[in-house]
């Protein structure tokens, strides 16, 4: 496992370094492997496509975010913590990640792949934060968390502070609005009293509004 982790992080560091200096579109997997000092055949076996290196970054960010430290907190507090842990990993490869983001408008296929991967990551993040993710309402909440991540990512792109203060402020702002729009209902709401059944029709979207990101 340690050898695998070392292989992955060495490859990722090489890819992000080259992306920062040359642009993501202008580097190849053999070049990444040679720069990392890794066997090209082994890299070909483990990471057949350049996009798979970016998916590796997402998995490593998720793994860091989803470490269970046993702390108890509200869904809002947990979501702040989980998303900032994810940004901490992105920050380690900042210049390379920024190079990838700059190239996305010119690579629609890559944008779609990363968009799908981000939605999957946010599903895990939302669930870990104690947000109910099942059913139609859960899907809407996942979209809300994804929108929150995207909103904060825009702030992170411009944040050159060491403590990521601008990023944290943007995340808090987004969380404030998300809370007002109903993103944080109880994960396991108490059952309604059987002697007073509720018969009124519920709102179609459970009060959830995912438009809190411009």
Q: Is the pLDDT of residue 61 over 90?
A: yes
Mean pLDDT of the residues in the chain: 88
Half-sphere exposure for 26 (CA within 13 Å, toward CB): 10
pTM score = 0.83
Residue-wise pLDDT tens digits, 100-139: 999 999 999 999 999 999 999 999 999 999 999 999 999 9
Per-domain boundaries in the chain: 50-180
Query: Residue 185 — φ and ψ, nearest 5°?
Result: -70, 160
């Amino acid at each position: 496992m340690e050898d695998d982790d070392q292989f992955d992080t060495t490859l990722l560091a090489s890819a992000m370094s080259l992306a920062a200096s040359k642009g993501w579109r202008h580097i190849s997997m053999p070049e990444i492997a040679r720069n990392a000092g890794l066997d090209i055949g082994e890299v070909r076996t483990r990471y057949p496509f350049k996009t798979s290196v970016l998916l590796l970054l997402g998995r490593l960010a998720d793994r860091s975010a989803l470490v269970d430290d046993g702390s108890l907190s509200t869904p809002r507090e947990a979501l702040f913590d989980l998303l900032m842990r994810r940004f901490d990993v992105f920050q380690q490869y900042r210049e390379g990640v920024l190079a990838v983001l700059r190239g996305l408008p010119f690579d629609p296929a890559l944008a779609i792949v990363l968009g799908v991967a981000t939605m999957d990551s946010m599903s895990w993040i939302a669930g870990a934060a104690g947000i109910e993710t099942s059913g139609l309402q859960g899907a809407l909440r996942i979209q809300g968390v994804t929108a929150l991540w995207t909103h904060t990512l825009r702030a992170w792109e411009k944040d050159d502070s060491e403590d990521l203060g601008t990023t944290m402020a943007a995340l808090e702002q987004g969380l404030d609005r998300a809370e007002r729009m109903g993103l944080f209902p109880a994960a396991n709401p108490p059952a309604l009293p059987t002697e007073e059944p509720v018969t009124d029709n519920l709102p179609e979207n459970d009060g959830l509004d995912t438009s809190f990101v411009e």
